[in-house]
Amino acid sequence: MPWPVYLAYKHLFPTGRQGATLRATLRLAVFVSFGLFIIILGLLWSNHVLARLWADTDSKTTLVKELGLVWLWVFAGVTIVALIFRSTPFFNAMSIFGITLGVTVLITVQSVMNGFAYQYERVFIETQGHLAVTADGIIENPQEVIQAIKQVPGVTLAEPIMSGVVGLVYQNLPAYPFVRSFDVNSPDAKLDPLARDVIEGSFDDLDDQSVLVGVGLAERLHMHVGDSVDISYPRMLEEAKRDHLPMPKELKVVGILESGWVGLDDNTVFLSLRLLREINGFTNEAHLIEVRLANDDLGHTLDLQEVLRKALQPLSDQRVAAGDKYGRLNVETWQEINQDQMQILFVEKSVMFYIMIVIVIVAAFCILCSLATSVVRKTREIGVLGALGARPAQVAAVFCLQGMFIGLVGTLLGVSLGVLLLHYRQDIIGAFVDQRLILKFYKFYSFPVQYRAWDFVKIIGFTFLISTLAGILPAWWAARLKPAECLRFD
């Protein structure tokens, strides 16, 4: 091992320190971990979380085991902290934990934001398809367009869609949900992922006299399979102006649908395409054509978008030439349709990343101060190294390597702690935050997370860089010291 590396390591982790025994460390960790565990139980008790967990858990033994596991994690964490404080000088230990906290926060924030982006991506694809063929208005004769779409390799489903808003009344309880159609007369209807999300009843029972209801809407209105609901529609106002007496459609609930996204489950009903066309006064039209592909990859979707545009261009020109003012067909990806939501997520992730970087930069200043103090304390030793023939670059390398070692240890601990917190994120959040708030504001049943290799590389690389750079100024200072002056230092 080159001696600058050896000296840097030995300064960070000196051996033979008084009291640095494993037994003493474990004894200290046991007492501290019990104290922290009691504080955690006190916080849970004060927030009425402990009583709720005790009441909601069927097996009390399971709850006791989970609490015991919490103490074990606390004990492990306290043991690691105690070992680091006993094996390295105080200022170095504080620098290591500064880097640890910074990396933990960055890993946690980036992975959670990735999780939200991934969940929204899955939701948009499942509920809207990969591509949508639209026009400036209603698409007339959509079957002709669908036949052209199905000629493109890679397309698994092309389905005409009608949508809008309807009024729903169940036992004098009103609601105004969104409505979306299923072409139940098509043999491809069951290929739609939403058709597989029916948790009560059966999708096969959906016809022109029935309705599927989102699980959140059904729970809010206390609806069950087999109940009847009245559906009113905007065209009733037009009929009333012509002195007609329109009546709401009485439909039977044949299924409860749960997509996994609260935004859809809480406020959506599903009707047959023919019924939705009827109540909107159409015969063979569609608002859009939903296209699903065999591959979910965004790059593949963008490639198929260009292929579809070229395939539909002759049909689009033909319709415009025939006088159809809505004949111009457009092909949009799920990302383009929901670009506002995706852009918000991207901005939030970027802003949070740059804000959390400040923690790592603050930790880097701790490293700089620690190494600067070390230069002052080791002035005579630096003089001895110079007198023995050490070059200034070698002396500087000792302090640069110390910064790199601090960054290495802090990064490893930070990544481990971040992954651990993310693994138990649902339990931690559920203990201190009401689950209903997550459903209300984030529209997901669970707190999402997704690990991306590039984020780990970016965070680890930045931490190494900033930790090494933090050692440059003390290293430059140490390299400029003259051996003769160092040896006279008192």
The model's pLDDT over 36-72, given as tens digits with 9 standing for 90+, comes to: 778 777 776 776 666 666 666 666 666 677 777 777 7
330 with 346, same domain?
Answer: no
Which residues share a beta bridge with 257? Answer: 198, 214
Domain end marker among 313, 334, 355:
334
248 with 229, same domain?
Answer: yes
Higher pLDDT, 255 or 74: 255
Question: pLDDT at residue 16 above 60?
Answer: no
Domain end marker among 318, 334, 350:
334
Dihedrals φ, ψ of 287, to 5°? -75, -35
pLDDT at position 19, please? 45
Domain end marker among 290, 318, 334:
334
pLDDT at position 20, please? 47
Give the integer Cα–Cα distance in Å for 80 and 88.
12
317 with 379, same domain?
Answer: no
Give the integer Cα–Cα distance in Å for 305 and 155.
11
Which residues share a beta bridge with 140? Answer: 285
217 with 244, same domain?
Answer: yes
Note the pLDDT tens digit of each residue in 97-116: 888 888 888 888 888 888 88
Question: pLDDT at residue 488 above 70?
Answer: no
Which residues share a beta bridge with 255? Answer: 201, 212
Q: Please say whether the dihedral angle defined by the alpha carbons of residues 474, 479, 485 and 486, taken in this order, is positive or negative.
A: positive
Cβ contact 113:442 at 8 Å: no
Question: pLDDT at residue 373 above 80?
Answer: no
Burial of residue 48 (number of CB atoms within 10 Å: 0-12, 13-18, 19+)? exposed
Count: domains in the chain: 2
Question: pLDDT at residue 472 above 70?
Answer: yes
113 with 136, same domain?
Answer: no
Tell me the angle at which helices 49-56 and 425-432 cross, rounded to the nearest 10 degrees: 120
DSSP H helices, 281-338, are 298-321, 334-337
297 with 374, same domain?
Answer: no
Question: pLDDT at residue 82 above 70?
Answer: yes
Determine the average pLDDT of the residues in 375-397. Answer: 70
Domain that holds residue 308: 129-334
294 with 155, same domain?
Answer: yes
173 with 237, same domain?
Answer: yes
